[in-house]
Amino acid sequence: MTFLSKLPALETPQEVIPLCFGILRNKIGNVLQKKGRWRQTELSEKDAPRDPHTPDTLLTSRERQARLRAALESLARRSEDDRKISQMLQSGFSLEEIRKAFGHKSITAVHTMLSRFRGRLKAALKGDLK
């Protein structure tokens, strides 16, 4: 197919632009290929894109989710504030909303509270909390 054969099928001038760019890209590719600069290389296995949905990655993803859920549940059992923080974070509350819910006067206090929560969560994920 040539440009002229496709032209009558185009309804608006804006549809011509992508077609022209495609033709231009192909023409540049032909010139570079003739000069030896355009080389198609094969990807090695390590360069190939990885499928995130292989059975191994799905299993590890499920395991991580289960560990995270267990850690969050253990924190929620230990502290009402941790349960509340966890629920608010999972529900997408903003820092300002969290500040109001806990009655803090500044966002800095919320940052400190969240930092300590993350520390406790990391410890729970490592299994330091029972």
Q: Look up tokens 């929620």; give the residue.
A: 76
Segment 65-87 shows an average pLDDT of: 88
Cβ proximity of 44 and 50 under 8 Å: no
Segment 80-105 shows an average pLDDT of: 89
Segment 67-92 shows an average pLDDT of: 88
Query: Which has the closest alpha carbon to 129: 66, 77, 94?
Result: 77
Cβ proximity of 128 and 121 under 8 Å: no
User: What's the predicted TM-score (pTM) here?
Assistant: 0.51
Segment 27-45 shows an average pLDDT of: 64
Check residues 2 and 101 and name the one with the higher pLDDT. 101
**Number of residues in the chain:** 130
The predicted structure's pLDDT at residue 7: 63
Q: Which residues contact 42 (CB under 8 A, 6 or more apart)?
A: none
Domain parsing of the chain, residue ranges: 3-35, 70-126
Q: 52: pLDDT confidence band, cut at 50, 70 and 90?
A: low
DSSP class of 39 = -
Lowest mean pLDDT among 3-12, 13-22, 116-125: 3-12
Lowest mean pLDDT among 10-24, 37-51, 62-76, 105-119: 37-51
Cβ proximity of 106 and 99 under 8 Å: yes
Q: Is the pLDDT of residue 47 over 80?
A: no
Residues 60, 65, 69, 71: is their CA dihedral positive or negative? positive
Q: Is the pLDDT of residue 46 over 80?
A: no
**To the nearest whole percent, how much of the chain has pLDDT over 90?**
15
